[in-house]
Amino acid sequence: MSETPMLTNAVTQFITRADASALTGEHLRLARRCVLDGLAVALGGSQQPGMAPLGRYILSLGGSADARPMGAARRRLPAHLAALWTGTAGHAMDWDDTQLAEGPGRPYGLLMHPTMPPLAASMALTDMVAKETGKPVSGAKFLTAFVTGFEVGCKIAEAINPDHYMRGFHTSGTIGAFAATASACRMLDLDEETTARAIGIAASCSAGIRANFGTMTKPFHVGRAAENGVTAALLARQGFSANTEALDGKWGYLTIAGPGGDPALVTGRFGAPFTMVSPGVSIKPYPSGVLTHPSMDAMLFLMREENIAPEAIESVGLYAGSNVLGPIRFRIAKTELEGKFSFAFLLAAIALRGRCGKEEFTDEFVSSDACQAMQHRIETHFSDEIEAMGWDRIRSRVEIVTKDGRKFERWANEAYRGSPHNPLSDAELQGKFADNAAGLLDEERQQKVFDLVWSLETAPDAGALIDVTDWGALDAVGA
């Protein structure tokens, strides 16, 4: 039996050897898009109810003025707390992008949200690195750190046994910590031994359980992943010790948290190809779990094509397999946080408003009489037929019965909107940014964001990302 490949060594070598030469062609184009999407959802998420108590907690701690959190460029916080704020905001609406699986037995669309942990960590260290080096962090360096963390997170998520998620771990919180650590190490230019210790520290910080889906704690998982990554890198730089093979072996992370995994799936494939390019990433059209999106589009297109008015609907049936129905845990949503994990709410929003965006994800709309009544007309059904088709794609069927007895049916498009097979256009992505920035940034400021991000690799100062997205977020938390 051959020796198990050492994943920690592959990870640390990739991190320390990464440079801007990887930022070319399709990889560069997609990296810019992921950054813009991350900025968008963090802007919108910074207004979510959970951010106020988090902000009050962060401001109560004080500490060194090392970093500016996104949306609050006039505030300075310890770097790890800036990462906590930005990362939590980025996942607060569950609108951030999704990694696609490619390994055997990996359910399609159920790995991690790969952008926010490394993006928040990279942003949080931009000011600190600029102060220490006496010069701004270039856009190329920033992007290099971001895509390095993105790749490390995706590859570790691919290597670990998929039971990690199925048993209840939230991969964006657990594996997200390694993604953030990789970006932080690259931002700080740590050597291989120090980086290995940082990975070891992160392995003991990694956390997040799916029991907290539908609460403020779910986005906190991603914020905590970003915070843990920054903390791990800074501790390692100070000489803090840790196992330098912490992903591997009998007591390593894959074995304990997987349980198990297959490092051979990824050890020779870091950057070859980059996961961002193949199999790709889904940039979400809706602020809910990606598993719900094909069904929501099926509902939307069916109502449009058949000219069905919401008041004409008697009932709606959603038929799917366990990979789609299992993670969606609320029968009837009472709050917007529960709504992200309730097909009844998501389809009700489409039925009533013909859309499901920032304006629909409010407690007021979810609890309204019209929304509650529509939710009670919607049922989900496990389908043996769809289950037998496998989990390599997101499959479902929507059936609408009208009050006059007519029945309409539509299968969800497996090449769903936002997927690499049917991606949002750059214009649609900018529209998503505008939706999230509504009421926060005017059109002129939004255009400055677009101009900066679409040429970020040539920008002299990546800290401008924080300047152009400032809206005084932490001034609004009541502290």
Give every CB contact of residue 212 below 8 A, 6+ residues apart in sequence: 170, 218, 220, 221
Question: Which percentage of the chain shows pLDDT scores above 70?
Answer: 97
Q: How many residues does the chain have?
A: 479
pLDDT tens for residues 254-264? 999 999 999 99
Q: Which of 90-104, 303-317, 324-338, 403-417 has the highest mean pLDDT?
A: 303-317
pLDDT averaged over every residue in the chain: 94
What pLDDT does residue 478 have? 65
Q: Looking at the domain that runs over 290-411, which CATH code has it been given?
A: 3.30.1330.120
Whole-number pLDDT of residue 100: 85
Q: Which of 100, 89, 115, 113 is nearest to 36 (CA)?
A: 115
pLDDT tens digit sequence for 126-155: 999 999 999 999 999 999 999 999 999 999
For residues 99-115, give the mean pLDDT.
Answer: 79
CA distance 362 to 135: 42
Could you check whether the bond before residue 279 is cis, i.e. omega within 30 degrees of 0? yes
Q: For the chain, how far is it from start to end, CA to CA, in angstroms? A: 60
**The pLDDT value given to residue 110:** 64
Q: Are 313 and 381 in contact (CB under 8 A)?
A: no
pTM: 0.91
The answer on pLDDT for 103 being more than 80 is no
Q: How many beta carbons lie within 10 A of that of residue 404, not counting itself?
A: 7
| CB distance 66 to 79 below 8 Å | yes
Structure tokens at 438: 């509504």
In angstroms, the CA 112 to CA 223 distance is 14
Which residue's entry shows tokens 């505030």?
Answer: 75
Q: Give the pLDDT score at 2.
A: 37
Per-residue model confidence (pLDDT) at position 428: 96
Chain segment 263-322, per-residue pLDDT in tens? 999 999 999 999 999 999 999 999 988 889 999 999 999 999 999 999 999 999 999 999
| Apex 310 CA angle, 308 and 312, nearest 5 | 65
**Nearby residues of 361 by Cβ (< 8 Å), 6 or more positions away:** 93, 287, 336, 339, 340
Percent of the chain with pLDDT over 90: 88
Domain ranges in the chain with CATH number 1.10.4100.10: 7-285+435-476
> What digits encode the pLDDT tens for the residues 383-430?
999 999 988 788 999 999 999 999 999 999 878 889 898 999 999 999
Tell me the C-alpha distance between 383 and 175, whole Å. Answer: 31
The Cα–Cα gap between 364 and 292 comes to 22
Q: What is the pLDDT of residue 102?
A: 75
Give 194's pLDDT tier (boundaries 50, 70, 90).
Answer: very high
What is the topology classification, in CATH, of domain 7-285+435-476?
A: 2-methylcitrate dehydratase PrpD (1.10.4100)
Tell me the HSE value of 205 on the side-chain side, using a 13 A CA sphere: 28
Write the secondary structure of the chain as one string of H (helix), E (strand) and C (coil). Answer: CCCCCCHHHHHHHHHHHCCHHHCCHHHHHHHHHHHHHHHHHHHHHCCCCCHHHHHHHHHHHCCCCCECCCCCCCCCECHHHHHHHHHHHHHCCCCCCEECCCCCCCCCCCCCCCCHHHHHHHHHHHHHHHHHHCCCCCHHHHHHHHHHHHHHHHHHHHHECCHHHHCCECHHHHHHHHHHHHHHHHHHCCCHHHHHHHHHHHHCCCCCEHHHCCCCHHHHHHHHHHHHHHHHHHHHHCCCCCCCCCCCCCCCHHHHHCCCECHHHCCCCCCCCCCCCCCCEECCCCCCCHHHHHHHHHHHHHHHHCCCCHHHEEEEEEEECHHHHCCCCCCCCCCHHHHCCCHHHHHHHHHHHCCCCCCCCCHHHHHCHHHHHHHCCEEEEECHHHHHCCCCCCCEEEEEEECCCCEEEEECCCCCCCCCCCCCCHHHHHHHHHHHHCCCCCHHHHHHHHHHHCCHHHCCCCCHHHHHCCCCHHHHCCC
The whole-angstrom separation of Cα 52 and Cα 478 is 7
**Cα 76 to Cα 423: distance, rounded to the nearest angstrom:** 37
Give me the sign of the Cα torsion angle 263, 265, 271, 274.
negative
Where do the CATH 3.30.1330.120 domains begin and end in the chain?
290-411
Specify the pLDDT at position 1.
28
- Tell me what the mean pLDDT of segment 191-217 comes to: 96
